[in-house]
Structure 1
Amino acid sequence: MYDELTEVDIKKMREEIEYRVNVLRPQILEDVKTARGFGDLSENFEYKAAKQVKNRNDSRIRYLERMIKTAKVISGASKAGEVGLFDTVEIYFEEDGEAQTIRLTTTLRQDALQGIISPKSPLGKALMGHKVGDRVRVDVNPEYSYYVVIRALEKGQDDESLPISSY
């Protein structure tokens, strides 16, 4: 299994790894060392908390390194007039009678609460390659689907404005 990531995604991950290794890790190790000096480790909450922060930082570094190692590098290019990666799309939900603007991005930078979705999501998958005016069926699961109409499309490009998500 691999993730489709852009060069910007990989650059952002490398920057985070560098920050976590060169800035955070020394601070965290100093906190662990200080907390260890507070006495009996079996009853030392500060030590346990500092170790937990250290382990979380190390885990994030390993996660990002594994993502970079297994990534499939893609470009954000798409055909003119068709919905593609990094585009902003205004859609109309027929079922609700409401319009919404969403932006498509890689899975690493998605944030559904902000209207930033991945082409791997049911809505993103359905919209990819369609044009303004198209009525698109969105299959959520085998029992439920709905229709949206693409009202507007603004072509976008990969930029560094969207942060990578944390876990």
Structure 2
Amino acid sequence: MSDVHYLTAEGYQRLQQELEYLKTTARQQLAQRLRAAIQQGDLSENADYIAAKEEQGFIEGRIQELEQVLRNAVIIDYTEKKANEVSIGHVVTVQEGNFPPETYHLVGPKEADPLNGRISHESPIGKALLGKKVGDEVTAETPGGVIRLKILKIE
């Protein structure tokens, strides 16, 4: 099951849109750049050609990655989630000591964006929260050290 990618419906749609863009617009623009670079002559010292070929490798690699992710995606269904126990897809409000409460949306690694409150269920905090209930205190070993969080709310 390590190939499973948990995504929200919005995240799935966003990745589909990126894939469509890469397969159409990005490939077409790159093909035009490659044609123009080839027309310049000697390809061995042609910086435009070399850069375009590198970008082509990146684009094709990203296309393969997105296709694999979307093929193995499991959409997080919020309607089936019970808010009494933390699971992927929940929004969890926690508090560390006397610091102000923080809210995290527990998502799959492909959608994680910690600066915007979206943490992976595979992250230290995400792992610590999974399966816990309101009022539980959890300990997470983060790169910044061990932290204790109290779960205040699960949505």
TM, length-normalised to structure 1: 0.76
**Map of 1:136 onto structure 2:** 138
1:88 and 2:91 are equivalent in the alignment: yes
Structure 2 gaps of 5+ residues are none
Q: Residue 149 of structure 1 corresponds to which residue in structure 2?
A: 150
Deviation >3 Å, runs of 4+: 9-12, 74-77
* Aligned partner of residue 150 in structure 1, secondary structure: strand
Aligned length: 149
Identify if the C-alpha distance between structure 1 residues 27 and 3 changes in structure 2 by more than 3 Å, giving closer, same or farther. Answer: same
Alignment of 1:103-118 (within 5 A): 103-118=105-120
Judge which range, 75-84 or 98-107, deviates more: 75-84
- Identical residues among aligned pairs (%): 32
Q: Is the 8 A contact 2:83 2:90 kept in 1?
A: no
CA drift at 1:57: 0.7
List alignment gaps of at least 5 residues for structure 1.
156-167
Counterpart for residue 2 of structure 1: 3
Question: CA separation in 2, counterparts of 1:119 and 1:16?
Answer: 23
Change (3 A) 1:78 1:6: same
Distance 1:26 1:74, change over 3 A: closer
How many angstroms apart in 2 are the aligned matches of 1:150 and 1:12?
Answer: 30
**Deviation of 1:14 (Å):** 2.9
Amino acid at match of 2:85: E
TM-score, with length taken from structure 2: 0.81
Q: Distance in 2 between matches of 1:7 and 1:139?
A: 26
Deviation readout 1:124-143 (Å, 9 max, x if unpaired):
111122222211122449xx
Q: Which amino acid aligns with 1:147?
A: R
Question: Cα 1:118–1:34, aligned 2, differ >3 Å: closer, same or farther?
Answer: same
